[in-house]
Amino acid sequence: DTGVSQDPRHKITKRGQNVTFRCDPISEHNRLYWYRQTLGQGPEFLTYFQNEAQLEKSRLLSDRFSAERPKGSFSTLEIQRTEQGDSAMYLCASSLSGATDYEQYFGPGTRLTVT
Amino acid sequence: AQRVTQPEKLLSVFKGAPVELKCNYSYSGSPELFWYVQYSRQRLQLLLRHISRESIKGFTADLNKGETSFHLKKPFAQEEDSAMYYCALRSRRQLTFGSGTQLTVLP
């Protein structure tokens, strides 16, 4: 499968623990996005990378959240001191800058449950 | 700030009937609008983009700036159209999604 991949697909953690998710974009895509989706809602933008530079961050991304894309390829999203309100599906997407930049390709998501 | 509203959470139609999924937006600039679709157990994928003005899987959507709407239409629904549909507005690389409409096409 050459699409966007995310790992793990499911994560159950206790409140207060730290979690880290990984996203591998389509190999030639230089742009990478993180979204969060809660039950009954559409995805909400969290942050965006162009290569290794984090260019935009949503106000939703509190200080407990950090995202990296160290070599401009895969990305990680870490949540520190998880809270029950962090329970959601975390989606990663990628795109290629240029004429087709408008199309974001989504991964299958990581479902986080905080107990 | 931009906002996308999809007023119907659930929509059911019979096979062969016309279908319209509503989307309204608020945005101060010139909007770039999309419809994304998620079939059961599949990932979110782009269905169509307003600029291209093309028909994908029989679906079309017209941007109406006066009514700030971007409704998705298909004249004859098929059972395989059953899915979750999201309207989205793009600004500065990020997408703002509506809350989605679950379409069920009944046999």
Q: Convert the pLDDT of each residue in B57-73 to its tens digit.
A: 999 998 998 999 999 99
φ, ψ dihedrals at A18, nearest 5°: -95, 145
Contact A104 B99 (CB under 8 A): no
Going B102 to B103 to B105 to B106, the CA torsion angle's sign is positive
Buried b or exposed e, range B92-104, using 16+ CB within 10 angstroms: ebbbbbbebbebe
Q: What is the DSSP string of chain A?
A: --S-EEE-SEEEE-TT--EEEEEE--TT--EEEEEEE-TTS--EEEEEEETTEEEEE-TTS-TTEEEE-TTSS-EEEEESS--GGG-EEEEEEEE-SSTTTT-PEE---EEEEE-
Tell me the shortest Cα–Cα distance from A37 to chain B, in angstroms. 10
Q: Which of A36, A71, A37, A79 is nearest to A51 (CA)?
A: A71
The partner residue sitting opposite B32, judged by closest CB among A35, A102, A105, is A102
Q: What is the pLDDT of residue B101?
A: 98
Q: What are the chain A neighbours of B93 within 8 Å (beta carbons)?
A: 31, 33, 48, 55-56, 101
Residues in contact with B28: Cβ distance below 8 Å, sequence separation at least 6, in sequence order: B2
Q: What is the pLDDT of residue A107?
A: 97
Which amino acid is located at A31 in the chain? R
Confidence of residue B33 (pLDDT cuts 50, 70, 90): very high
Confidence of residue B105 (pLDDT cuts 50, 70, 90): very high
The SS3 assignment for B80 reads helix
Contact A41 B88 (CB under 8 A): no
Q: Which residues of B touch A (CB under 8 A)?
A: 4, 6, 9, 32, 34, 43-46, 49, 51, 86, 88, 90, 92-100
Question: Residue A101: is its pLDDT beyond 60?
Answer: yes
Question: Residue B53: is its pLDDT beyond 80?
Answer: no
As a whole-number percent, the residues of chain A with pLDDT over 90 amount to 86
- Lowest-confidence pick of A27-41, A67-81, A92-106, B76-90: A92-106
- Lowest-confidence pick of A20-24, A45-49, A84-88, B89-93: B89-93
Give the A window 79-108 contacts with B, CB below 8 Å. 91, 101-108
Q: What is the pLDDT of residue B71?
A: 96
Question: Residue B25: enclosing H or E segment and its boundaries?
Answer: strand B24-26
User: For residue B87, what is the nearest residue in chain A, using CA coordinates?
Assistant: A42
Question: Residue A91: is its pLDDT beyond 90?
Answer: yes
Give the whole-angstrom CA distance, residue B97 versus residue A86.
19
Q: Which two tokens stand for residue B17?
A: 């009937």
Confidence of residue B7 (pLDDT cuts 50, 70, 90): very high
- Lowest-confidence pick of A2-16, A56-70, A76-90: A56-70
Q: What is the pLDDT of residue A1?
A: 54
Q: What is the pLDDT of residue A10?
A: 98
As a whole-number percent, the residues of chain B with pLDDT over 90 amount to 80
Tell me the shortest Cα–Cα distance from A17 to chain B, in angstroms. 28
The SS3 assignment for B50 reads coil
- Lowest-confidence pick of A29-38, A87-96, B45-54: B45-54
Q: What is the pLDDT of residue B104?
A: 98
The SS3 assignment for B82 reads coil
Tell me the CA distances in angstroms from B10 to A6, A56, B5, B21, B74, one per residue in order. 29, 33, 14, 10, 16
Question: Residue B26: enclosing H or E segment and its boundaries?
Answer: strand B24-26
Q: What is the mean pLDDT of chain A?
A: 94
User: For residue B102, what is the nearest residue in chain A, using CA coordinates?
Assistant: A40
